[in-house]
Amino acid sequence: MRDWDPRLLIFLGIVLMLAGILFPGLIVLHYVRSTWALNFFSYTASVLGVILGFVGVAFYTRRRMP
């Protein structure tokens, strides 16, 4: 398995969490039509973002420990 950089995981987690916030906001403001696929993508992006961010922080702290 590839040795993932924890900063990359944290960055991807932040991007996915922002996408999970941005799309529902656009739906509420009626810039984008609410569809099942977009709602599912927003939810999945939020959950994956939290998981990747958490894993990235765990790897980062583990790598920094003496």
- How is the chain split into domains, by residue range? 6-64
Nearest to 12 by CA among 43, 64, 61, 56: 56
pLDDT tens for each residue of the chain, 66 residues long: 467 889 999 999 999 999 999 999 999 999 999 999 999 999 999 999 999 999 999 999 987 777
What is the pTM for the complete model shown? Answer: 0.86
> What residues contact 12, with CB distance under 8 A and at least 6 apart?
49, 52, 56
